[in-house]
Each structure stands twice: as C-alpha cells, then as structure tokens.
Amino acid sequence: MGLYSNGNAASGAIHDFGRARLGGVQAIGLFAGLCYLLRDAFAVVWRWLFDIGYVPFAWFAFDLAGFAALAAFAWTFAVQRGSFFGLYTLALLPLSVFVAALTVDTDPAFLGAAVKMIVPLYAGWCLAGADIPALPPVRRCLVFICLATVVGIALDSLMDFPWSGMSVDQFGVAKAIDKVWSISAITRVSGLAGESTAAAAVALFSWLLVHRKIAPASSVMLGLCVVAACIVTTSRTAAGIAMLATAWIAAQAWMLTSLRPVQVHRALACGSFILVFLPLALVASASAFSFADISSSLTSFEQRVEESWQYPFALLSDRSPVSLLTGCGLGCLNFPARYSEWAGLLQPVDNFYILCFAMFGLFFMPVLAGMILAAMRERDRTRLLLIAALNLYTFFLEGFSPAFTLFTIGYATSGMHLLRFGKACKPDPATQGFAY
C-alpha cells in the first residue's frame, strides 16, 4: 500500500506492518511522527521525569528521529527522485536560516531552535503515498493517545498533578507549567501535555487521522469526547473544528451518503485554501473596514486582525523593509526568536500562513502552490479532510507547535512531492492518484 511505482529503488527497504507496507523513507518518517506524538501528548510528564532524573536535555532525544527523517527526505526526494518540490523545500531550509542570521541574530540557540522547529514538517512529507492509519499498530497507537489525552485533560480539571508549578529552563528562558491563564474566569487545563492548546491539538489530529479506520459510531463517539476535551481546555478553535468534523462524519455515515465520494472531499479541501488568502485581504483592508461597527461581538476578531495579523508586516516594514519580499528568516517571529535579539519584539501571530509569509516572504509561494496542487490530485479522503481541518485550524492559530501539528500538516500535503510536471501519464490508484 502506498509504494512508489519504482519500488525498492526509490524507497529503500520495505517494512511490513500488518497488511500494509512502508518504504524505508516512509518508515523513518512514521517513526519520527510517532516520536513527536508521544512527546507532545505527554510533554509535561517527560519534562518532569527528566527534571527529577537530572537529564533535562534528554528532551531533545526525540528530535533525533526528526533529523533522521530530514536526511531520509533529502536523499529520497531530492537526490534519488529529483522531485521539484522536494528540491525546492530542501533548498529553502538553508536559505531561510541564512536570512534569519542576517536579519535577526546569529545566536546558535536561535538558529538551532529555528531548524528544530521546522523539521517535523519534513518528517510528515516523508510519508508521501503512505496510508499510516491503515497500519494496525499505528491505528491502535493513535486511538490510545487520543483517549489518554482526553482522560488527562479530565483528570487535570479535577486534581493537581505532581508537576504543577514546575518551571522549565531552556537556554536561559524559563517557563512555568501551571494552570495560571484563563478565559472569562475559566481556567485553562492542559492535561498530560502541559499546555492547553497542545493537548487539544493532539486529541483533535490523532482522532482525525484515524477517523475513517474505525466504525462510524466509534468515530463519532470519540469525536464527541474530543469536543468535550477541547471545551475543557478552552481551545475554542479545536472545539469548533471537532464539532464540525463530528457532524461531517455522522452525516456522511448515516444521512447524506452523497458526502462520501472523494470528489466531495477534494472540493472541501481545495475550497478551504480560500482561508489562506482571506487574512491577507482583511489585513490589506483593515484601515477602511471595521468589524466592531457591524457587531460588538466581532470586536475581538477585529483585534486579531489589527494586533496579530498586521503585526508582522508592521514590524518588518519598520525594521527591515526588504524582508517584506524575502521574509525575515526561519523562526524570526515564532518561539525560536525568544533566544535572539528580537525576543522583546515578539507578539502572537495567530495564523500559520501569515507566519510563513513573514518568515519566507515570496519564497513561500511555490510551497503554497504545491500544497494546493497536492489537494487537487489527492485521492485519500483522510488527507483531504485533514487539509480542510488544518486550514481552518491555522486560520486562528500559528500551527508550528506542538510539533505533531506541523507533522500532520506535512503528512496531509505530502502528495506535493509526488507530483511530476511535463509527463503525460494516467494516475495510478496504488499511488493515491498522483502521477509519478
């Protein structure tokens, strides 16, 4: 399942997992993805254990699998297969690090954190052509992680864990792990992940990855559990997406069978890319348009447009106008910049694509084009629903953390690395509908 058309020559060794088979690069990418999932789902537990064991830097051992996936991606897609998007995205990595060093800071902690931040995307891209939820061990792992995350959130709302109040120091930047932030006087709980948004993201995307591989009734019940967990964490974006996805799954299973075909899923995925350009249009028209005048309930959304989405463009035009075209480099406006001279300038940029445009500038446009083309050619309904859910999710959130979210973005759009241009060949059902 999901093998390349030229078999072992492109993928290396073949690994059996139940009835499904993975090529070498896919197996490495899957291993990295599971490492990120296990770390993010139980992040605060790992931090606590490493802290009491006096090995705090063991936290970064999980990242070794990600860098192995990056190397496998480079060898397979750039060297062996000569994929256009594989070559381009690989070349973009050192280029954006160089730009970050020129624009922001040359501190090794900043540049290293920036590279580490982006690696999960390449791990997800390693899984082009693979259907990982079809692998029984992976499917069981995803269901277990989803349930464990839901239970952890429930327990955290009822009791204090041993690590409550713990502080983590990383390269001189300290972060407290506690239930200290709230929305409307409702305390945000974070379960075993140690961060509420991360806990909600792990529950949501682990469920969406497996939703078509379990019975519809079980999928809907698990979806309702995810909705409840996301509400408890006060992650309104994740809760809303979980509600919509649960309704979609229930509708296509029992009420509207016309929603089942891949063409419908593809239309949903491709249409969701409108959400990529909508924030840019809103930012461009912000000075002439007021949401608060329409309704007071839209005041917070207007603040997001003016304070979050506009901020990168205002900052770059003030400090480095050329960065509006070239970007300010990898990690320049995200959490890696906490280790740089720009630490005092950071503000939340609650949109994945705006953050990408800020970091990569116009160099991001070919990557975005590849993502859209991947959706247009994709035949895997799980990936297509993931693309739609991720575009809605990243409309409101930055999407680079937890690492499993970025890995999921890579997995959903990995088909871009299977595209070939200038070759007239028919899609092969065994390769998810992409031309090799």
Confidence category of residue 48, pLDDT binned at 50, 70, 90: confident
Question: What is the CA angle 370-281-89, rounded to 5?
Answer: 20
Res 59: pLDDT: 85
Read off the pLDDT band of 260 (50, 70, 90). Answer: confident
Query: How large is the average pLDDT for residues 272-276?
Result: 95
Beta bridge partners of 174: 169
Q: How far apart are CA 99 and CA 106, in angstroms?
A: 10
Greatest mean pLDDT among 151-160, 186-195, 357-366: 357-366
Residue 274: the pLDDT is: 96
* pLDDT at residue 431 greater than cutoff 70: no
Residue spans of beta strands (DSSP E) within 27-88: none
Whole-number pLDDT of residue 295: 58
pLDDT at 228 over 90: yes
Mean pLDDT of 22-45: 94
Instruction: Give the mean model confidence (pLDDT) for residues 29-42.
Output: 96
Average pLDDT on 360-372 reads 96
Strand partners, 227: none
Q: What's the average model confidence in pLDDT over 386-394?
A: 97
216, 249 contact by CB (below 8 A): yes
Confidence class for position 425, pLDDT limits 50, 70, 90: very low
The residues pairing with 436 across neighbouring beta strands, listed in sequence order, are none
Residue-range domain boundaries for the chain: 8-285+301-431
* pTM to 2 decimal places: 0.89
Mean predicted lDDT score pLDDT of the chain:
85
> Which H/E stretch holds residue 91?
helix 84-103
Whether 395 shows a pLDDT value over 90: the answer reads yes
Strand partners, 169: 174
**pLDDT the model gives residue 420:** 83
CB 153 within 8 A of CB 233: yes
* pLDDT confidence bin for 340, thresholds 50/70/90: very high
pLDDT score for 120: 98
Q: In terms of pLDDT, which residue wins out, 172 or 299?
A: 299
Confidence at 112, pLDDT banded by 50, 70, 90:
very high
Token pair for residue 9? 């020559």
More confident residue, 51 or 238: 238
Instruction: Give strand pairing partners of 176.
Output: 167
Contact 324, 317 (CB under 8 A): yes
Residues found in the chain: 436
